[in-house]
Structure 1
Amino acid sequence: MTTVAEHIITSLADAGVTQVWGVVGDALNPLTDAIRTEDRIEWVGVRHEEVAAFAVSAQAQLTGTLGVCMGTVGPGSIHLLNGLYDAKKSHAPVLAICGQVPSPEIGTDFFQEVDNNALFADVSVWSQTLTSAGQLPYLLEQAVNAAQSMHGVAVLTLPGDVGDLPVDRGVRPAAFAPTGVPAPAPDAQVDAAVAALSGDAPVTLLVGCGAREARSHVLELADVLAAPMVLTLKAKEGLEHDNPFEVGQSGLIGNPAAAKAMDDCDVLVLVGTDFPYRDWYPTGKTVIQLDARGEHIGRRTRVQHALVGDAAATLARLVPRLDRRTDRAHLETARTAYEQWHERQRSLLEPGHDHTLLGRARAVLDNPDERIRPEAVAATVDRLAPDSTIFTSDTGMSTAWLARFVTMRGTRRLVGSYNLGSMANALPMALGAQALDRTRPVVAFAGDGGLMMLLGDLRTAVTYRLPVVVVVFDNGRLGMVKLEQEQGGLPEFGTELDNPDLAAVAAAMGLASRRVTEPEQLEAAVTWALAADGPVLLDVVTNPDEVAIPPKPKLAQGWGFAIAKAKEAMESR
């Protein structure tokens, strides 16, 4: 005889699940006890359930396999929501097992009772409550199959009196459905795209993470069409390195060369991207969109030719039918502009930049305290980190510096809250990534505001011997919000952070740590952190007034920034 909880945990172990993340208690006790006796599954107990959900979202994104987290009755499950929304918007297969009050108390407004089916209705592709042993294995199979086939969140609720119920030995173990085989777009759609790409009209590609597994095909497409390739942030991984067609990112974290490449084309080809910012799409172009998800077609910009299918399978049929372009002026112009922009950016990276003639003039305005420039932090980590590093980043300015100065070369991976845009995700995602392989380097680009939100889970890195390197961009600000306010003509308000010595806090939690305050210390500090045996935190005090200029700055933004700075100066006097 086995129990409901044992049946669930054994079935997940049989399916290859090796970790479950969460906080113990109440309705989860039978499940965590089953994990205690299941050698194939490691329990990772976090200090906040949000960390658990972010961690398994990262694991699911990195591996493509099911991530599992748990939250107990009421508040414990509520805490999962933010990380689960990240999984939803990132199309990551995640199973959340949530506790509920005992069955007789459901609907009585019992202590800690919440309606889980209502609570998780928006975030989940499937949500049900297990009320009897007779529902196994079917309900568990439905949950896992839904998460994996629909690439989303499944929520299985377990009342407090159900986990210990006996399950007959004759009940078969759960058997989960295999994943489907990617299919190409239909021939008629390919025919129309081939016709639209004939001739010599300049073409630009906007490529997203849906094309990461189609690298060779996308590079061949760009070569045949002599097309510059603009990458979304999530497409950096797998498509940025050794790419002679790449011109960086679009949007606020992008660069002028990418913006110009999109503006100057006649045909824009979207491959595996649902890039959300409509203002950054050019107008008056012929648009071809290739995406495995039909619901993505045309929801950001008007599309004349749709290709609904797997990127690699579709491009394998499309590219051989295209005529090779001989006029490569559009590509060469875009690449030259990109390289010139990169050269200008590199001038900021030297430790002595602010002591040059131009640097001193600029620093009077934007770095009077001669703090470390965040660009230099990102570039130093990029140069010294191994080519196998997994990077995570908090939403905000730390992502901007990563996007511009960290290259996804070798087998590097990248994960962040790039669809939900949550604060505080970098540390939890780094923990999840590191737990997959404790020997692989993992670096988190953390904002000071984001880190402080879930600071307690620094200790999780120590408890479970997860040797993450947390690099904190410590500018004492909510930097992206500060920039938003100033570009709108508002003086900075509510963004200043009265931080403690974060290196001292990390040391008290058991991490190796250093506080870096001088540009000349940066190289040695990053080298030390990457070589450390165990979890590390680098508290790098960076310039709070660094400005990440958007690729297409508007006059209104410039005036707004000037007005805001004038107001700030008057208020400070």
Structure 2
Amino acid sequence: MTRTVARLIGDALSQLGVRQVFGVVGDALNPLTEAVRTTEDVEWVGCRHEETAAFAASAQSQLSGNLGVCMGTVGPGSIHLLNGLYDAAKSRTPVLAIAGQVPVTDMGSDYFQEVDNDALFSDVAVFHATISSPDQLPQLLETAVRNALGHKGVAVLTVPGDISDRRLSTDRKARFSLSPGVTRPEESAVRSAAGLLRRAERVTLLVGQGARAAREDVLALADRLAAPMVLTLKAKEGFEGDNNPFQVGQTGLIGNPAAASAMQDADTLLLLGTDFPYREWYPDGRTVIQVDTEATHIGRRVPVEAGLVGDVGATVRDLLRVLGSGEARDRKHLDHARERFESWRDGQARLADPKHDKGAVGRIRSALDNPEDGVRPEALAATVDRVAADNAVFTSDTGMATVWLSRFVEMRGTRRLLGSYNLGSMANAMPHALGAQYLDRERQVIAFCGDGGLSMLLGDLMTLKTGNLPVKLVVFDNRRLGMVKLEQEQAGLPEFGTLLDNPDFAAVATAMGITGIRVTDPAELDESVRRALSTPGPVLLDVLTNPDEIAIPAEPTLAQGWGFAVAKVKEVVRSHREPDSG
């Protein structure tokens, strides 16, 4: 007997190695969720919000390299998937979204909850289609999956409510064979780029996520060129740590002075597997060589002298072959960048010491920016880094939580890192952690949550509780939208609209059946972090951090400093004008 549409899809997910499907049940999905329920090695994870489902699927795909899958039912259910799907699309990771739809006979009639899914998902998806007949399967499903995997993007398959339980006209199984090829640039392009590198006196590498699989080749090239290695945030995983003697951290707003000067002091920049978008952080007038698998990425951020379209590993190996051993290069540029980086790291370590504010310098600093003696977010991030396992998975909310993670958490060992670093969405850390923990319940998963981000999708704490997932949520509770506050003040504007009237998040977690721990005293920090990370099951660590902490950019400008001073004056004036509410 032939199978139904829903049964074919359930069997195909098992065949693809999909282990979880995330979503919220609904009438149009009922045959599909039943197919998942009755598929032995595929688990249905019911979320409280479809956005969480899409974020979780994106996280699984990024960690595993496999297809992530989520579902949303008719109309609002599918709409709610959209933000998490944009996260997957901007992260260039394969996700299949199955969206419910009204019955075929009612499509186009402005039926209850009807939404044009093909129009809705047209921007986010590399492939989207609506099944109008069972005869379109399995080919349409095969096409959707191959597009998601081949283009590393989102595919959306819309299934009307009266299609899922209809039988196919064939018993053929879906076939998904797809063998990705390795591309490399032409020899003439490699020789031209190698010639530029030979003539260069000071080369700096800007290394991105696209180079992670070629770590040893990239290290060999850095050694051959005596080049400091500036990392994008996504390249922390794979290139950070003491066993990389070339890395000098990140540039940009979350970066450090050593990385910024390594870029500025170079006469030649070599971009490897990165589409770093912030044009203002690229120095002018440098020779730029870029290696990327996507031809459309070449030169779109900064003018490029030589663009090499190809796999980073294969291309770097070709460059090393053409460069040969050559003469030993002057290492002053590298040594200077590394010395400055180590000096900066030492200073950051002092700031992150929970006892810093008790010293002479610390007391002066604290009187100015932390008069209530709140926990320093630097200290919180550094303490988690020190206590966490060397194979932990870290996720971070967009905003200040990512700043503190980028500066104080080292991706040593086999640690992994996830965040909405291209889309820049709020509320991603907890859903990403949820998806990551379902992949491996034994692996430590730690989410750096902003208080604003966590409260957006707070309901899905219950998904952690229901699944008994041992995710550790570390909440940077500064009662602010901290990044927005900083942006306003750097522009000379007084803080406005950023204040958050937060509950006691630890008490909320406890009420939901999750272990909640609240920290208000810096002296309690170390013991509380250790207890949170060692307690079985899900834990929420709510740490009241200093709301006035300042993350100084890698190269602070006079305008930023002046703007901050003006903003502080305006805030003081406004506070004196406001009536006493006590």
Question: 1:272 corresponds to which letter in structure 2?
Answer: G
Question: 2:419 corresponds to which letter in structure 1?
Answer: G
Match of 2:370 among 367, 371, 395: 367
CA–CA distance in structure 2, aligned partners of residues 183 and 294 of structure 1: 11
Partner of 1:186: 186
Partner of 2:25: 24
Question: 1:159 corresponds to which letter in structure 2?
Answer: P
Q: Does 1:96 align with 2:97?
A: yes
Partner of 1:356: 359
For 1:145-184, what aligned pairs fall within 5 Å after superposition?
145-168=146-169, 170-184=170-184
Partner of 2:496: 493
CA–CA distance in structure 2, aligned partners of residues 147 and 177 of structure 1: 13
Partner of 2:580: none
Partner of 1:36: 37
Partner of 1:482: 485
SS of the equivalent of 1:467 reads coil
CA contact (8 A) 1:224 1:324 kept: no
Aligned residues: 572
Q: Does 1:226 align with 2:226?
A: yes
CA contact (8 A) 2:471 2:539 kept: yes
SS of the equivalent of 1:564 reads helix
Partner of 1:528: 531
Question: 1:128 corresponds to which letter in structure 2?
Answer: A
CA–CA distance in structure 1, aligned partners of residues 399 and 557 of structure 2: 20
Q: TM-score, with normalisation over the residues of structure 1?
A: 0.99
CA contact (8 A) 2:71 2:97 kept: yes
CA–CA distance in structure 2, aligned partners of residues 10 and 486 of structure 1: 55
SS of the equivalent of 1:559 reads helix
SS of the equivalent of 2:70 reads strand
CA contact (8 A) 1:137 1:171 kept: no
1:321 deviates by: 2.6
CA–CA distance in structure 2, aligned partners of residues 491 and 282 of structure 1: 31
Deviates more, 1:380-389 or 1:325-334: 325-334
CA–CA distance in structure 1, aligned partners of residues 12 and 492 of structure 2: 57
Q: Does 1:311 align with 2:320?
A: no
CA–CA distance in structure 1, aligned partners of residues 185 and 455 of structure 2: 46
For 1:94-493, what aligned pairs fall within 5 Å after superposition?
94-168=95-169, 170-241=170-241, 242-322=243-323, 323-493=326-496
Deviates more, 1:395-404 or 1:350-359: 350-359
Partner of 2:545: 542
SS of the equivalent of 1:288 reads strand
CA contact (8 A) 2:191 2:322 kept: no
SS of the equivalent of 1:282 reads coil
CA contact (8 A) 1:203 1:227 kept: yes
Q: Percent identity?
A: 63
The Cα offsets for residues 394-423 of structure 1, whole Å up to 9 and x where unpaired, read as 000000000000000000000100000000
CA–CA distance in structure 1, aligned partners of residues 327 and 255 of structure 2: 29
The Cα offsets for residues 136-165 of structure 1, whole Å up to 9 and x where unpaired, read as 111000000000001000000000100010
CA–CA distance in structure 2, aligned partners of residues 464 and 569 of structure 1: 47
1:12 deviates by: 1.6
1:276 deviates by: 0.3
CA contact (8 A) 1:148 1:179 kept: no
Question: 2:58 corresponds to which letter in structure 1?
Answer: S
SS of the equivalent of 2:119 reads helix
CA–CA distance in structure 1, aligned partners of residues 160 and 122 of structure 2: 18
CA contact (8 A) 1:200 1:325 kept: no
CA contact (8 A) 1:20 1:44 kept: yes
Unaligned runs of at least 5 residues, structure 1 = none
CA–CA distance in structure 1, aligned partners of residues 35 and 395 of structure 2: 32
SS of the equivalent of 1:376 reads helix
Question: 1:184 corresponds to which letter in structure 2?
Answer: R
1:353 deviates by: 1.1
CA contact (8 A) 1:225 1:324 kept: no
Question: 1:230 corresponds to which letter in structure 2?
Answer: V
